[in-house]
Structure formats: structure tokens, C-alpha cells
Amino acid sequence: MKVMATFWLIFFLGLVRGSYQVCETWTSINETIYSQTYVTITDPTANTVRPLGFKTAVYRFEGERPCKTVAPTDGNMRHIEVKWELEQAGRLCVTNNANNQNRCGTSRQFSLCTVVPGSQSSIEYRFFCEGDGCESGDKLFWYRFVVESPMENGMYNENWCDTRDDRYPGSLVRLPTNFIPPTQATTPRNKASSVASNVLVMMATLLIAAALH
């Protein structure tokens, strides 16, 4: 009897875990302090570095449908931006518990900016996959939610979505693996300096080649 009860309990818990995963609370980072550091999605520090405020998640064909609770989301005509960048181009969808509208992306990057659906104080977003390109496999991706902050008068900017930055974690500058970041790592390096450093690396290589010759 006990064995059967345990079996069913485990089976039931498995079902609950598989289909109705608890929504994890989304923690946003103030945009003024986003990390501009390039980090690969498989890097163990990816979720502590949080490039441009993104975090990583995985959709598993066999089970995981990551779910995130975003709050606060109430406010008249407030906006929300949802973005993701997959490790590999493919299909990924998202739905929410406010209007249950499904939105899917088919390339590597996806961005959606709208007025917050419904008028709930929090919204659950669930990532899933349905349709062509969802037949198998796991999908690793960066994702981010940004909820518009009220202006000084407490209102929301109707053009907020047009003001959004179009970058993704993959847009950040990739530094060579042996590069030691300067202490002031907040200023992105411009094209000129990366050309200059490329020239330096080339010259060093030539010098070493000449010395070994």
C-alpha cells in the first residue's frame, strides 16, 4: 500500500512539475547599470554577469517550459518589452496569463514591445514551442523583460517602444579570451580602438615570427 501511494505521489509530483512549473519571479536590473560585457550563453557566470540585463533559460522539448512572473505591471497604458536571443536560430514562442496571446519568433532574435496586456499587478509569461521547428531538442536562450517606468508626472510615454535599444547579448563586443578588461569597463570600446588593437596584435605576431626565424 505504502509503495503504491509513494509511486502515485511521485508520479503526480512529476506531472505537476512537468506541466505546471511554478513561475519564477523575474528580477530586473536598472538599465543604467547593465553589464556591457560579452559573455557566452554557456558561461557559468552568464546569469550573474547578465549582459544588458538578460538572463538565460532553456526550453526542453521533453519538459521544461520556463515561466517567469513579471511585476509590477499595472498602470494605464504602461508598456512592456519582451526580448530573447536563442543560442541557435529557431522557433520559440511566449504566451502570458493576461490575454493568453501567443507570439512566436522564427529567427535568432525576437523582440515584442506593447502596452501591458490586461491590467493585472503581475503577469506570468511562459516560453514554449509549437509549430514547425519544434519537433525535438532543447533551446537555450537569453531573455529579458522590461516594464516601462512612469515619467515624473506619473504617466507613461506613448512612444516608449520607439526609444528601446535594439541590442542583444550577442551584439556586445567580443573580447579576446586573454584580454584583461580595464578598470573602467563601462565605456564600450569604439571601432577605432579595436582596429588599433588588431594592428598591435598583428605587429606582435610578426615580431615573434621574425624573432623565431
C-alpha cell at position 103: 507570439
Instruction: Please identify, using beta-carbon distances, which residue of 64 and 74 lies nearer to ligand NAG.
Output: 74
In this structure, how many other beta carbons lie within 10 angstroms of the beta carbon of residue 98? 17
Distance in Å, CB of 169 to ligand NAG, minimum: 20
Distance in Å, CB of 160 to ligand NAG, minimum: 13
Nearest by Cα to 165 from 12, 15, 34, 6: 34
Q: Return d(Cα 112, Cα 212) in angstroms, integer.
A: 55
DSSP string, 170-184: GGSPPPPTTPPPPS-
Distance in Å, CB of 191 to ligand NAG, minimum: 28
Instruction: Please identify, using beta-carbon distances, which residue of 23 and 29 lies nearer to ligand NAG.
Output: 29
* Inter-residue contact 53 to 146 (CB < 8 Å): yes
Instruction: Please identify, using beta-carbon distances, which residue of 73 and 109 lies nearer to ligand NAG.
Output: 73
Nearest by Cα to 61 from 90, 96, 97: 90
Instruction: Please identify, using beta-carbon distances, which residue of 6 and 149 lies nearer to ligand NAG.
Output: 149
Give the residues lining the site for ligand NAG (CB under 6 A): 30, 32, 149
Instruction: Please identify, using beta-carbon distances, which residue of 30 and 184 lies nearer to ligand NAG.
Output: 30
* Inter-residue contact 87 to 171 (CB < 8 Å): no
**Closest residue to ligand NAG: CB criterion:** 30
Distance in Å, CB of 140 to ligand NAG, minimum: 28
Distance in Å, CB of 149 to ligand NAG, minimum: 4
Q: Quick one: CA dihedral 182, 188, 190, 194, positive or negative?
A: positive
